Amino acid sequence: MTIKAVVFDAYGTLYDVQSVAAVTDEAFPGYGELITQIWRMKQLEYTWLRSLMGRYEDFSVITRQSLTFTLKALGLTFDEKAFERIMEKYVHLDLYPDAKEALAAMKDRKLAILSNGSTDMLNALVRNTGLDTILDATISIDTTKVFKPSPRTYDLIESNLSVKPHEVLFVSSNPFDACGAKAFGLNVAWIERVTPRAMATEFVKADLVRPLSMFKAIRMQMDEFGWEPDYRIGALADLPKLLAAHP
């Protein structure tokens, strides 16, 4: 296997979506973690529902709608200023600490993002975090009018980077995305940031399950579709060593 391009999911893979919690808790003290988890789950759910309904709206619209749902569902009142302050965090998400160093170590290959994010959101996020000087391409699914894990979205890798699926290593920490990419025919590395053993310790003798623990159980464990990733790694920092075996 010769890997010519490494393509990353953005949200949850290179960027820590949990980093919005500081902003949500500042706006709604005591509700930050709960807002963050419901918001992210509804955001993903809305991408899948809109894809099934054939009623595409870009990711910025979906992110707004899912945040609105979350605040209303929790009975929280909010003004436009607070709402926009929370939304602004999505173009200033925190990079995972090992992201830049890992990417820099792989510059001998084409590096790109393939994300559900809208073009404007992604470009702002990449620019604000300095990845614009490292990545060869930032690819939004906007042109397909459907969200991952639709096969049409993974087609964008070949059309943008001129590489065949077998020449691509796709990297995601989102199980649905890893499964979708594998079903499409890409080589896949899944970042398993939360192992089953770690999950077990979070639930043992827990009188009250934290919202973040529920999110880890629902959205960060490998799905049972039968499409296993080629590689399971613990962090982005593991990628350079993995690729060293495939010059």
Catalytic residues: 9
- What are the backbone dihedrals phi and psi of residue 138, each rounded to the nearest 5 degrees, phi first? -120, 110
80-118 burial, b at 16+ Cβ within 10 Å, e below that, comes to: eebeeebbebbbebebbeebbebbeebeebbbbbbbbbb
32 within 8 A of 21, measured Cβ to Cβ: yes
149 within 8 A of 178, measured Cβ to Cβ: no
Q: Who contacts 81 (Cβ-Cβ below 8 Å, separation ≥6)?
A: none
Burial of 240 (0-12, 13-18, 19+ CB in 10 A): middle
Report the alpha-carbon distance of residue 174 to residue 160 in Å, rounded: 22
Cα 223 to chain centroid, rounded: 15
- What are the backbone dihedrals phi and psi of residue 195, each rounded to the nearest 5 degrees, phi first? -80, 160
7 within 8 A of 69, measured Cβ to Cβ: no
**Furthest CA-CA distance within the chain:** 55
Structure tokens at 24: 């949500």
